[in-house]
């Protein structure tokens, strides 16, 4: 089984002081010298793919369960999962791609864009779809639910549509069943379904994933990874003409900060108890206390 | 302008998701000449209809063979689009609604914009929509230039919507048998999960962020919430650490809440989170960092360690109760 996880690192927006967003009156998705981070949802997706690769059925000696299928047939050699991490991004992503190689990704691929694609979801989707239909197509494409600076919430479904593949949303966990078929758990706020499916397909992770933080490579893994390189392609290497990458359908710009109509009154005091007292006396009126 | 609204949310979700669509429908009301509604279901046939600000011309009740597998629905709606094209397809903001809005926009060579908070017709041919981007810190404005426009509605707290047993228009039923079989789905089963929704409609919420530090500290906050009569909510890291279930997550990817009192303790106050509490009547922020952005969103601020402050607050409330 071949799978690819698509990710896009983002600025650590949480580190940008609020006044910086307001300051210039010109709003930009690039707030300057702020570190890049994995988007938390893609981190779950990247770890989910690793966990599948490491399940007893898919690596090492076949587990007891793997020996028999539903119909009692011998299951054959263990399933190998080949994992690719894929991003359309500039070279700031290379550090992250190397991290992914170190923790177990077989391939790390970066398509270098010729312009800023933060607000061109169809171009990004067409780029990913074109890569997928290349010489060694994966069976599974895994996406986060909202990503990049643009947070369009549509790249995964768009790629599915371009490829004519089915698409499952809110994916929380992946596993192989006893018959070596892919079992996808989809979880939402108040529902959970398990689908046994036949690839190829697109999976979009949800917020309730069973895997969360991406593992950290050991020193040995880091050293081993030094000899393996990130594959960098340029947009010109790919023929996007198969898909309608025209983002002319819409145009997006950043126009402001969501308004806060509040001014904060600070409670001062010499101790936590004093502050709690002021809070209780002034803001939790007796009739408000149950 | 002709529009089709699609409600994909299931039993529990459908009410809030239908309410989320009201602001968008209202702002387009003047331009709408015809509005049809699709209600998607898997279990029992829905027999109540949303009381939206404008009349419906027809309701389609569409049964999906497998919950959570939207592909047949997409084929169904694009077939409908061929026989009876619309200018606007408005989906609810569920995962399935988003998936359909994105795919349909591409399939029909139109334009899509998802998780829309507000929208307006800028002229006859262009629709402008606004939504959050950049971790919830900025507003993005999208001009949709190509018909049809495919939108999904972002969650908005607080709009209570009436439901009625009288659709006020013809209803057409489309049973699952009419849907093409999805041969890639070998089996699909539902697994029972806890179904109460702790945050929706809560009058008081105590939100705990990463600053709570540990599962043990978090457990110490249960009696505090109880004394306050509050539900506990969480930021993403708290849910990611497995300290609280995801039904407690507040923010753009969780629940949008509108309590009268919201105490936010140990959360930095990023846009993606704050979007979820914006409609709270009074926000109290507790944080050790005086420069934490959460104070920008709050009415009342305390710079201190959340644990002693909240434990002291609990003691005070209990004392008042007993006196
Ligand atoms: C696309 C996308 C969508 C997202 N959606 C959501 C969402 O819906 N909801 C959500 O919550 N997040 C969401 N996030 C994550 C979000 O960006 C932040 O990472 C997250 O909200 C931060 O949570 P936090 O404030 O609890 O943690 P941190 O940012 O780690 O902040 C912890 C805070 O606690 C303070 N603190 C530490 N110790 C104490 C103490 N003892 N007492 C008091 N204060 C203390 C610190 O000063 C700090 O301000 C999303 C991210 C992305 C990329
Ligand atoms: N530039 C990109 N490169 C690779 N994957 C991407 C890129 N942009 C978005 N994605 C993927 O698509 C998902 C949804 O992004 P979006 O539609 O922009 O919200 C993300 O979580 C990623 O998995």
Shortest CB distance from B145 goes to which of A194, A250, A265?
A: A250
Please list every residue in chain B whose beta carbon sits closer than 8 Å to the beta carbon of residue A11. Answer: 134
Cβ of B211 closer than 6 Å to ligand 1, yes or no, is yes
Between helix B71-83 and helix B95-107 the angle, nearest 10°, is 40
Instruction: Tell me which of A216-225, B96-105, B156-165, B254-263 is least confident.
Output: B156-165
Instruction: Tell me which of A65-69, A177-181, A224-228, B114-118 is least confident.
Output: A65-69
Per-residue pLDDT averaged across A211-240, rounded? 90
Work out whether the CA dihedral B246, B250, B256, B258 comes out positive or negative: positive
Confidence bin at A76 (pLDDT 50/70/90): low
- Report helix, strand or coil for B263: strand
| The pair of three-digit structure tokens given for residue B88, joined into one six-digit string | 């606007």
Counting ligands in written order, which one lies closest to the CA of residue B99?
A: 2
Counting ligands in written order, which one lies closest to the CA of residue A205?
A: 2
Cβ of B233 closer than 6 Å to ligand 1, yes or no, is no
Instruction: Tell me which of A36-40, A72-76, A266-270, B252-256 is least confident.
Output: A72-76
Pairwise CA distance, residues B94 & A29, whole Å: 26
pLDDT at B21 over 70: yes
Please list every residue in chain A whose beta carbon sits closer than 8 Å to the beta carbon of residue B195. Answer: 190
CB pairs under 8 A between A and B: 295
Q: Which residue of A has its CA nearest to B292?
A: A17
pLDDT at A68 over 70: no
Shortest CB distance from B111 goes to which of A157, A204, A249?
A: A249
Q: What is the pLDDT of residue B198?
A: 83
Element (H, E) at A11: strand A10-11
Please list every residue in chain A whose beta carbon sits closer than 8 Å to the beta carbon of residue B105. Answer: 249
Instruction: Tell me which of A151-160, A226-235, B8-17 is least confident.
Output: B8-17
Shortest CB distance from A272 goes to which of B96, B300, B312?
A: B312
Instruction: Name which of B9, B105, B108 is nearest B64 in CA terms.
Output: B9
Among A144, A155, A158, A167, the residue to mutate for chain B (most B Cβ within 10 A): A167
Q: In sequence order, what are the residues at sequence separation of 6 or more whose Cβ sits closer than 8 angstroms to the Cβ of residue A28? A: A254
pLDDT single digits (tens) A118-133: 999 999 999 999 999 9
| The pair of three-digit structure tokens given for residue B63, joined into one six-digit string | 């049964």
| The pair of three-digit structure tokens given for residue B40, joined into one six-digit string | 């998607």
DSSP 8-class letter at B184: T
Query: Phi-psi bin for B230: left (phi > 0), alpha (psi -120 to 50), beta?
Result: beta
Using CA atoms, how far residue B276 sits from A153, A184, B62, B260, B267, in Å, is 17, 29, 31, 14, 13
Q: In sequence order, what are the residues at sequence separation of 6 or more whose Cβ sits closer than 8 angstroms to the Cβ of residue A108? A: A84, A85, A97, A98, A100, A101, A230, A231
pLDDT at B188 over 60: yes
Q: What is the dihedral of CA A158, A193, A209, B73, to 10 degrees?
A: 10
Confidence bin at A60 (pLDDT 50/70/90): very low
DSSP 8-class letter at A79: P
pLDDT at B87 over 70: yes
Confidence bin at B240 (pLDDT 50/70/90): confident
Strands B138-144 and A250-256 come out as antiparallel
Cβ of A124 closer than 6 Å to ligand 2, yes or no, is yes
- Report helix, strand or coil for A14: helix
| The pair of three-digit structure tokens given for residue A181, joined into one six-digit string | 């078929």
pLDDT, averaged across chain B: 92
Query: A229: CA distance to ligand 1 center in Å?
Result: 34
Cβ of B292 closer than 6 Å to ligand 1, yes or no, is yes
Residue appearing with tokens 């997928």:
A132
pLDDT single digits (tens) B42-86: 888 999 999 998 899 999 999 998 888 999 999 999 999 999 999
| The pair of three-digit structure tokens given for residue B209, joined into one six-digit string | 């962020």
Q: Do B110 and A249 touch (CB under 8 A)?
A: yes
Q: Do B271 and A258 touch (CB under 8 A)?
A: yes
pLDDT single digits (tens) A12-22: 987 787 777 76
Q: Do A197 and B184 touch (CB under 8 A)?
A: yes
Please list every residue in chain A whose beta carbon sits closer than 8 Å to the beta carbon of residue B253. Answer: 41, 145-146, 207
Q: Do B139 and A153 touch (CB under 8 A)?
A: no
Cβ of A6 closer than 6 Å to ligand 2, yes or no, is yes
pLDDT at B289 over 90: yes
Q: What is the pLDDT of residue A58?
A: 53
Cβ of A275 closer than 6 Å to ligand 2, yes or no, is no
Q: What is the pLDDT of residue A109?
A: 97
Instruction: Name which of B30, B17, B2, B43 is nearest B96 in CA terms.
Output: B17
Pocket test for ligand 2, best of A147, A157, A203, A245 (most atoms within 8 A of CB): A147
Instruction: Name which of A213, A200, A214, A206 is nearest A171 in CA terms.
Output: A206
Please list every residue in chain B whose beta carbon sits closer than 8 Å to the beta carbon of residue A251. Answer: 142-143, 145
Q: Which residue's alpha carbon is nearest to atom 10 within ligand 2?
A: A7
Strand partners, B231: B205
Q: Do A195 and B10 touch (CB under 8 A)?
A: no
Query: A202: CA distance to ligand 1 center in Å?
Result: 29
Q: Is the ipTM of this complex over 0.95?
A: no
Strand partners, B87: none
Q: What is the pLDDT of residue B214?
A: 95
pLDDT single digits (tens) B140-183: 999 999 999 999 999 887 667 889 999 999 999 999 888 888 99
Cβ of B293 closer than 6 Å to ligand 1, yes or no, is no
Q: Which residue's alpha carbon is nearest to atom 41 within ligand 1?
A: B305
Q: Do A284 and B114 touch (CB under 8 A)?
A: no
Pairwise CA distance, residues A287 & B14, whole Å: 34
- Report helix, strand or coil for A136: coil
Per-residue pLDDT averaged across A27-50, rounded? 89
pLDDT single digits (tens) A192-209: 899 999 999 999 998 777
Q: What is the pLDDT of residue A239?
A: 87
Q: Give the other-Cβ count within 10 Å of B55's Cβ.
A: 10
**A30 exposed, middle or buried (CB, 10 Å; 0-12, 13-18, 19+)?**
exposed
Q: Do B313 and A279 touch (CB under 8 A)?
A: yes
Q: What is the pLDDT of residue A62?
A: 39
| The pair of three-digit structure tokens given for residue A7, joined into one six-digit string | 């990710």
Q: Do A13 and B229 touch (CB under 8 A)?
A: no
Give A78 to chain B, closest Cα distance, Å: 21
Residue appearing with tokens 């030094």:
A226
Query: A119: CA distance to ligand 2 center in Å?
Result: 11
Q: Which residue's alpha carbon is nearest to atom 1 within ligand 2?
A: A88
Per-residue pLDDT averaged across A109-122, rounded? 94
pLDDT, averaged across chain A: 86
Per-residue pLDDT averaged across A114-121, rounded? 93
Per-residue pLDDT averaged across A214-232, rounded? 92
More confident residue, B284 or A25: B284
| The pair of three-digit structure tokens given for residue B37, joined into one six-digit string | 């509604």
Cβ of A42 closer than 6 Å to ligand 2, yes or no, is yes
- Report helix, strand or coil for A274: helix
């Amino acid at each position: 089984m071949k799978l690819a996880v698509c990710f896009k690192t983002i600025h650590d927006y949480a580190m940008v002081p609020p006044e910086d967003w307001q300051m210039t009156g010109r709003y930009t998705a690039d707030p300057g010298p702020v570190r890049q981070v994995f988007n938390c949802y893609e981190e779950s997706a990247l770890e989910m793919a690793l966990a599948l690769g490491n399940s007893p059925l898919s690596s090492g000696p076949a587990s007891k369960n793997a020996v028999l299928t539903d119909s009692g047939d011998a299951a054959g050699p263990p399933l190998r999962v080949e994992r690719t991490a894929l991003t359309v991004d500039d070279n700031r992503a290379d550090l992250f791609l190397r991290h992914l190689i170190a923790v177990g990704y077989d391939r790390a691929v970066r398509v270098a864009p010729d312009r800023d694609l933060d607000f061109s979801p169809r171009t990004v989707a067409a780029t990913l779809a074109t890569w997928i239909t290349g010489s060694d197509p994966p069976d599974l494409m895994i996406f986060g639910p909202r990503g990049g600076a643009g947070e369009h919430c549509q790249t995964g479904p768009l790629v599915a549509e371009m490829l004519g593949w089915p698409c499952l949303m809110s994916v929380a966990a992946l596993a192989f069943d006893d018959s070596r078929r892919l079992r996808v758990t989809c979880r939402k706020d108040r529902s959970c379904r398990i689908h046994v499916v036949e690839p190829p397909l697109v999976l979009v992770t949800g917020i309730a994933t069973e895997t969360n933080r991406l593992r950290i490579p050991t020193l040995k893994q880091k050293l081993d990874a030094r000899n393996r390189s990130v594959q960098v392609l340029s947009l010109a290497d790919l023929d996007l003409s198969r898909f309608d990458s025209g983002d002319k359908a819409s145009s997006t710009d950043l126009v402001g900060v969501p308004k806060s109509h509040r001014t904060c009154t600070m409670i001062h005091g010499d101790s936590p108890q004093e502050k709690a007292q002021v809070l209780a006396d002034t803001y939790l009126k007796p009739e408000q206390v149950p | 302008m002709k529009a089709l609204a699609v409600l994909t949310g299931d039993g529990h979700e459908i009410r809030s998701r239908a309410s989320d669509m009201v602001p968008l429908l209202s702002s387009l009301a003047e331009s709408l000449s015809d509005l049809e509604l699709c209600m998607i279901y898997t279990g029992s046939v829905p027999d109540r209809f949303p009381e939206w600000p404008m009349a419906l011309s027809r309701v389609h009740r569409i049964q999906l063979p497998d919950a959570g597998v939207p592909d047949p629905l997409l084929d169904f709606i694009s077939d409908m689009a061929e026989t009876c094209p619309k200018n606007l397809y408005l989906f609810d903001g569920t995962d399935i609604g988003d998936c359909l809005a994105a795919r349909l926009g591409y399939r029909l060579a139109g334009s899509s914009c998802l998780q829309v908070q507000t929208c307006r017709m800028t002229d006859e041919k262009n629709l402008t929509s606004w939504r959050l981007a950049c971790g919830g810190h900025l507003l993005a404005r999208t001009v949709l230039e190509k018909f049809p426009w495919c939108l999904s509605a972002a969650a908005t707290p607080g709009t209570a919507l009436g439901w009625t047993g009288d659709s006020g228009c013809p209803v057409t039923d489309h049973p699952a048998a009419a849907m093409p079989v999805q041969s890639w789905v070998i089996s699909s089963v539902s697994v029972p999960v806890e179904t109460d929704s702790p945050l929706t409609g809560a009058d008081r919420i105590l939100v705990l962020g990463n600053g709570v530090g540990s599962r043990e500290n978090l457990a110490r906050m249960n009696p505090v919430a109880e004394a306050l009569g509050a539900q506990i909510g969480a930021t993403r890291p708290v849910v990611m650490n497995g300290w609280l279930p995801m039904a407690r997550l507040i923010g753009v990817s969780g629940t949008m809440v509108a309590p009268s009192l919201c105490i936010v303790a140990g959360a930095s106050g990023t846009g993606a989170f704050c979007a979820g509490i914006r409609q709270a009547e009074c926000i109290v922020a507790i944080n050790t960092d005086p420069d934490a952005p959460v104070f920008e969103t709050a009415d009342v601020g305390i710079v201190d360690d959340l644990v002693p402050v909240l434990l002291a607050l609990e003691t005070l409330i209990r004392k008042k109760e007993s006196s």
